[in-house]
Amino acid sequence: MTATQEQEVGAARRRKEDAHLITGQTTWTDNIQLPGTVHAALLRSPMAHARVRVNVAAARNEPGVVAAYSGADLADELAGLPSAWQVTPDWVAPEHKPLAVDEARYAGDAIAVVVADTRAHAVDALDAIEVDYDPLPVVLDMEQAIADSSPLVHTEAGTNVCFRYSDTFGDVDAAFANAPVRITRRFVQQRLVACAMEPRSVLVAPVPAAGEYTVWSSTQIPHFVRLFLAMLSGVPESRIRVIAPDVGGGFGSKLDIYAEELLALTLARKLGRPVKWTETRSEAFQATVHGRDQIQDLELAADADGRIRGLRVNLLADMGAYLQLLTPAIPLLGRAMFPGIYKMDAYEFGCVGVFTDKTPTDAYRGAGRPEATFAIERMLDELAAELHVDPLEMRRRNWIRHEEFPYAQIAGLTYDSGNYEAATARATELFDYDGLRAEQARRREAHDPVQLGIGVSTYTEMCGLAPSRWLGERGYAGGGWEAATVRVLPTGKVEAVIGTSPHGQGHVTTFSQLVADTLGVPFDDIEVIHGDTAAAPAGLDTYGSRSLAVGGVAVWRAAQRVLGKAKTLAAHLLEVSEDDLEFSGGTFAVRGTPGATKSIQEVAFAAFAAHSMPDGFEPTLSADFVLEPDDFSFPHGTHLCATEVDTETGRVTIRSYVAVDDVGKVVNPMIVEGQVHGGLAQGIAQALHEGARYDADGNLTTGTMVDYTPPTAADLPSFTLDRTETPSTNNPLGVKGVGEAGTIASTPAVVNAVVDALRPFGVADVPMPCTPENVWRALHEAQGGAA
C-alpha cells in the first residue's frame, strides 16, 4: 500500500532539488566536459561607438587556435538576433548581428571570435587580433538622444527613437482641469544588472553526419532557444535539442536569445566539433542584458481630500544599442500597472523607446512592473505629504475595496481578487506602525541626527503573461499557454513533464505536491522532468511569475485527466459503473462493497499490460494538457519599512521590514517565503545599493562585483513575513505567482521610508540608489546648499 492520505498542498515540503546542489553534484553548463571540445572567446569593443576594421589573420597562428573570425567574415552566415515583441507598427528595429560587422555600438559589443583548444589559448589569442577603431560620437543620455541634433546610434535608421506609444483612458484633460491638487514628479529608474551568480554559458555538440546539434545553455528559455536557433540557422527544430541543465539564477537576464548561442551553433556547424563559451563576470556586466533605465515624468490630479482623479505618465525608456528579445516591450508591460491598486477617472500613458550607445536592456525581475509600482507608490506618498494625511490613510481613500472584485481598472485590466484591507491591517500590526510613528515624532522633536523614516508600499502586480490572444493583440510573436504531461508508469511511479524551466524556483517540489494530492501518490514517487526539449518538447519556459499560475495549473489539469482515465479503467476492472466509484488516498473503491478496490498503482499496471480494457481505451496511464489561461492573476500585498537615516553622513540603515503578501493559494509556504526574501533583497538593492553607471565616453564604470556592490549578508536585515490568502478566481487552483512580488514592493517601500525620514528637512525625493552620497546631496540641496 503506497497511497498517502496526507495533504501535500500547503505543506512546507523540503526541496527535492537540494540533494545534488548541496553536495556539488551539479550540471552547470560550464561543468560539462566533452571530448574534443574547443573553446570560444570573444573580442569586445572597448569603445562605445566606433567604426571597426578587424583583422584576425595573426590570431590564427597563435598556439592552440583552431579558427578566428571577424564579424565581417561571418556576416553572411550569421543572421541578426530577433526581437519578438513589435510594440508599434512603425517601430525601428535595426539589424543586430551576433558579431558587429563594421561598427561597434556599445562598450562590450562583440567584434571577433577566436576558437582554440583551451579557454586560456582562446583568450590569449585575442591579443593578436588587429583592430582599427575610428571613434564615432557617443550618445548616452536619453533626452539628448531624442533631440534633433543628436548623434545617431544607428546611422541608417535616421533616428534614435525606437518607438512612440501612447494610450488614454477617460477624460484626462477634464480630470486635471477640475482638480484642486496637482503633483508633478520626475523619477529615474537607474540601470540595473541582474547579476545571476552563474555567468552565462553555452556548449553546442554537433553530430555532423546527422546534422544534429545538442545545445546546453544556462538559459531560462530552452524552448525559445530551440525555436529561434532553428529560425536563425535553418537547422530544422527537430535536429536541435536544447538542454537547460542546472541554471544558476536568471532574474530575467537569461530570458533572451543571445549572440553567443547562435555563434556557438554556427561555429560547431563549421568546425564539426563541440564548441563551448562561458562568459567572465566582466563580460556578464557588459554583454548580458541590463534592466530598468527609465526616466518617468508623472502628474497626479486629486481632490482636496486626496481622492485621485487623473494620472499622467510619460516615460523615456532606454533600449540600449540594440533590441534583444523583449527590449521594447519591457516599459510597456508596466503601462497598465501605473494606476496600481487605486481608482481614478482618467489615465494617460506615453512612452518613447530610445537607442543609446549602451548595453541593451531587457527583462529584469518584474520587467516593467517594478518601475510602474515605484512611480505610483511614490506619488501616493507625495500626495499624502502634500495634504498632511497619513500615507496609509491616503491609500485607504483610494484603493479598490475587497467587495469590489473582480475589478475592471482604468487601464483595461480586470483584477481577479484582492483584499488590500486585510494585508494592510496585518502588516501594520506586525510592524507596530503607531509605535514607530510615535518614535519618529520624538526623534524629530529632539533633532536627533539619526532620523526615523517609515515607508509604505501597497502594490499589486500581474503574473502569468496571458492569454495568448491578449499578447498577440499587443504585438508579441509568441503565446502565453503552457504544457504538461503526467504519466503513471507501470510500477506506479509518476513522471510529470513540464514546459516551464526552473532555475532555483523549486518547481520539482511544488509540482510534485500538486500531483501527489491529485493522484494520491506519495510525494517521493513523483519525478518532474524539465529543461530539455527532447524530454519536455512543449513549453514556453519560466519568466514573469508564470510557472505556478500557468504551468502548475497545466500540470494539475493533466493529472486530472490521468485520474479520469484511471477511473474509467478501474470501473472496468471492478466491473462497476464509474458512478459507483469513489477515489481517495490513491485508491478507487466501490461504494458499499468493502474490499472492492483498485489502487492507482494497480490501475497503472493494468493500463500498461492492456490485457483488459474498455472499448476505445488507450493503453498506458498518461495524459497531456496544454493550458490557455483565461487571464493574468494579480497578487498584492503591503510592505512597511522603517529606515534610520543619519543626517550627518547620509547613511541609511533598514531598521525593520514587514512584508505581508497575498499570492493567492499557497502550495509550499517555505518556497513562497524564500522567493519573497530573494525578491526583497533585489528590490532593496535597487533602492539603496545598485546602479550601472557609464562615464562620458560610454565605458561601464561599474563593471565588477566590487564596483556594482550587490548587497552582502551584512547589508541586509532580517525580514518579518506573513501572508493573507485570497485565491485567484482565474484558475481552479486559486494560485497567483510570487517570484517578483518582493522586488516590486520593496523598492518604493524603502525609498518612501528614506524620503519620510528627511521630509522635515524639505527633502521631497532622493535619487536611487539612496547611497550616503545621494542622501547627503539631497539633504544639502533641500537646505539651499549647492551640492
Partner 1 sequence: MTRISVSVDGTEAVDEVEPRTLLVQYLREQRGRTGTPVGCDTSNCGACTVLVDGRAVKSCALLAVQADGAEVTTIQGLANGELHPLQKAFHEHHALQCGYCTPGMIMAAVDLLDEVADPSEQQVREGLEGNLCRCTGYQNIVTAVRDAAAELRGATS
Q: Which residues bind partner 1 (CB under 8 A)?
A: 14-15, 17-19, 21-26, 28, 30-31, 33, 120, 194-199, 246-249, 251, 280-282, 503-506, 670-671, 673-675, 677-682, 704-706, 710, 712-714, 716, 718-719, 742
368 binds, options partner 1, ligand FES, none, Cβ within 5 to 8 A by partner type: none
Q: Which is nearer to ligand FES, 542 or 638 (CB)?
A: 542
What is the smallest separation between the CB atom of 56 and partner 1, expressed in angstroms?
Answer: 24
Q: How far is the CB of 375 from partner 1 (least distance, A)?
A: 24
Which is closer to ligand FES, CB of 395 or CB of 507?
507
Sheet holding 652-662, edge to edge: 450-460, 636-646, 652-662, 720-723
Closest distance between partner 1 and the C-beta of residue 334, in Å?
23
CB of 241 to partner 1, least distance (A): 22
Q: Is 407 in contact with 400 (CB distance < 8 Å)?
A: yes
Q: Which is nearer to partner 1, 480 or 679 (CB)?
A: 679
In terms of DSSP bridges, do strands 652-662 and 636-646 run parallel, antiparallel, or are they unpaired? antiparallel
Tell me whether residue 21 or residue 57 sits nearer to ligand FES (CB atom): 21
Smallest separation, CB 235 to ligand FES (Å) = 33
Question: Shortest gap between Cβ of 202 and ligand FES (angstroms)?
Answer: 19
476 binds, among partner 1, ligand FES, none (CB under 5 to 8 A by kind): none
Q: What residue number has its CB nearest to ligand FES? A: 197
Which does residue 304 touch among ligand FES, partner 1, none (CB within 5 to 8 A, set by kind)?
A: none
Q: Shortest gap between Cβ of 285 and partner 1 (angstroms)?
A: 10
Distance CA 443, CA 754 (A): 15
Question: Using CA atoms, how far apart are residues 437 and 444, in angstroms rounded to an integer?
Answer: 11
Residues that bind ligand FES (CB under 6 A): 197, 249, 504
Nearer to ligand FES, 10 or 249 (CB): 249
Give residue 616's region: left, alpha or beta (phi > 0; psi -120 to 50). Answer: left
Residue indicated by cell numbers 501616493: 380
Cell of 289: 542584458
- Cα 499 to Cα 12, 232, 492, 535: the distances in Å are 24, 22, 23, 10
Of the pair 249, 406, the CB lying nearest ligand FES is at 249
Closest CA to 48 of 355, 505, 496: 355
Q: What would the grid cell of residue 364 be?
A: 529584469
Residue with Cβ nearer partner 1 (350 or 711): 711
**Residue 156: phi, psi to the nearest 5?**
-65, -20
SS3 at position 174? helix
Q: 352: helix, coil or strand? A: strand
Please state, in angstroms and rounded to a whole number, the distance separating the CA atoms of residues 566 and 478.
Answer: 34
- Following DSSP, what letter does each residue of 50-85 receive, concatenated? EEEEEE-GGGGGSTTEEEEEEHHHHTTTSPPPP--B
From the list ligand FES, partner 1, none, partner contacted by residue 612 (C-beta under 5 to 8 A by kind): none
Taking the least distance from each CB to partner 1, the nearer of 151 and 710 is 710
When CB distances are held under 5 to 8 angstroms depending on the partner's kind, the choice from ligand FES, partner 1, none that residue 677 binds is: partner 1
For the four alpha carbons of 395, 397, 403 and 405, in that order, the dihedral sign comes to: negative
Closest CB to partner 1 among residues 246, 541: 246
Report what 713 binds from ligand FES, partner 1, none; CB cut-off 5-8 Å by kind: partner 1
Smallest gap from Cβ 744 to partner 1, in A, equals 15
Residue with cell 560547431: 268
- Please state, in angstroms and rounded to a whole number, the distance separating the CA atoms of residues 16 and 510: 9
Q: Tell me which of ligand FES, partner 1, none is bound by residue 21, counting a contact when its beta carbon lies within the kind-specific cut-off of 5 to 8 angstroms.
A: partner 1
Residues 6+ apart with CB under 8 A from 149: none
- Our CB check for partner 1 shows the closer of 9 and 721 to be 721
Q: How many CA atoms lie within 13 A of 428 on its CB side?
A: 14
In the complex, the smallest distance separating the C-beta of residue 117 from ligand FES, rounded to whole angstroms, is 23
Query: In whole angstroms, what is the distance from residue 679 CA to residue 746 CA?
Result: 8
CA–CA distances in Å: residue 94 to residues 160, 232, 423, 714? 10, 16, 46, 44
- Among partner 1, ligand FES, none, what binds residue 673 when CB lies within 5 to 8 Å by partner kind? partner 1
The distance of closest approach from Cβ of residue 328 to ligand FES in the complex, given in angstroms and rounded to an integer, is 29
Q: Which does 680 bind (CB under 5 to 8 A by kind): partner 1, ligand FES, none?
A: partner 1
